[in-house]
Chain A
Amino acid sequence: MSKYIKTQMSAENYIDDFIRGEKQTEPNPFLSTRIVAEIEKMQQAEIKKVTWWQIVVFVACIVTMVFLGITIGNSYISHISQEITMNINDNEIENLGYYSLNNYE
């Protein structure tokens, strides 16, 4: 057998051996579980995803509430009366008659 043919056959045998070795490699037995978990994670992320108009509505609500609160607060302050009244209970005030000189000896 010529040297060229022998070389070709041995190269082919080496290639076949190499491929046979790679074909014997087995994947991780939990690979399918890992892939399903990844897909479920993506689905969760999709559910949690917020659209732009939802963000706009949310910000508008907050701004409206703050504005409403300030307006109510301002209107409340403007109606408070500036008058001050004194409430005195005469019975609890010290009886100044004790200090007069008539009939208390």
Chain B
Amino acid sequence: MEEEQLIQEIVCGNTLAFKMLMEKYQNRVFCVAMGFVHSKEDAEDLTQEVFIKVYLSLSTFNHESKFSTWLYRITINTCINFANRNRKRRLLQSLEDVWHSAFNQRDEEQTPLEKMEISERNLLIKKAIDSLSDRQRVAFILSKYEELPQKEIAAIMNTTEGAVEQLLQRAKNNLQKKLKRSVGN
């Protein structure tokens, strides 16, 4: 079934059509959510929240942009709100993950010290990504996680390609500045 047809069916209340649409875009939404929250459980909760919002507001979608563009906008707004609401809880969760990963018995090729070093480095990278401004973070995640072209990112963020390129460059510089002392050594 074509996307337009699927959307028409969903607006008429067909949950099976909605499930088909969800299966098409689920992984993309999940991937973007992972870029914002870095936790599988939180990303799943966010994916659920996004698709419920999509279902409830699909009748307001006016086809001025592509459906994927509209979906990405909802995803980004939901993720930013979630990330800002739960900043402290997620920081504590990350610290716990560092501790637990040192004693993860599955990977026996690395020593606990190596695992802890990797986890600490990942924690620093997460904090660095989270410390970017909202616009830089959005551009960075859409570019690195979703590998979207700048043109599409510009359409999603409702800006120009030049502005997106600047945002990506600033994000890259900020990340390297924050990480060069700790991660680079």
In whole Å, how far is A22's beta carbon from the nearest beta carbon of chain B? 5
Task: Offer 29 A-B interface pairs, CB within 8 angstroms, sorted by A.
Answer: A6-B184, A7-B180, A7-B184, A8-B184, A11-B179, A11-B180, A11-B183, A14-B179, A14-B183, A15-B125, A15-B175, A19-B35, A19-B145, A25-B34, A25-B40, A26-B27, A26-B30, A27-B40, A28-B44, A31-B44, A32-B19, A32-B22, A35-B51, A36-B15, A36-B18, A36-B22, A38-B52, A39-B18, A40-B15
B185 interface hit (Cβ, 8 Å): yes
Q: State whether A38 touches B183 (Cβ < 8 A).
A: no
Are B15 and A27 in contact, with the CB atoms below 8 A? Answer: no
Residues of B contacting A23 with CB < 8 Å?
31, 34, 145
Bound complex: CA A10 to CA B176 (Å): 10
Q: Which residues of B contact A42 (CB under 8 A)?
A: 52
Cα distance, A19 to B144, chains bound together (Å): 7
What residues on B are CB-neighbors of A99 within 8 Å? none
Q: Which B residues between 138 and 185 are near A, CB-CB below 8 angstroms?
A: 144-145, 172, 175-176, 179-180, 183-185
Instruction: Report the minimum CB–CB distance from B55 to chain A (whole Å).
Output: 6
| A27 B43 Cβ-Cβ under 8 A | yes
Chain B interface residues (CB < 8 Å from chain A): 15, 18-19, 22-23, 26-27, 30-31, 34-35, 38, 40, 43-44, 47-48, 51-52, 55, 121-122, 125-126, 144-145, 172, 175-176, 179-180, 183-185
A48 to B26, CA, bound (A): 30
Q: Determine if A35 and B22 form an interchain contact, defined as CB atoms under 8 angstroms apart.
A: yes
Residues of B within 8 A of A32 (CB): 19, 22-23, 26
Query: CB of A52 within 8 A of chain B?
Result: no
Alpha-carbon separation in the docked complex, A45 to B179 (Å): 49
What mask results when residues 34 to 54 of chain A are scored 1 for a CB within 8 Å of chain B, else 0? 111011101000000000000
Are the CB atoms of B52 and A12 closer together than 8 Å? Answer: no
Establish whether residues B179 and A15, one from each chain, have CB atoms under 8 Å apart when the complex forms: yes
Instruction: Say if the beta carbon of A18 comes within 8 Å of chain B.
Output: yes
Decide: A31 near B125, CB < 8 A? Known: A12-B176, A19-B144, A25-B40. no
A-B CB proximity, top 10 nearest: A7-B184, A11-B179, A27-B30, A18-B125, A11-B184, A32-B22, A22-B34, A35-B51, A35-B48, A7-B180
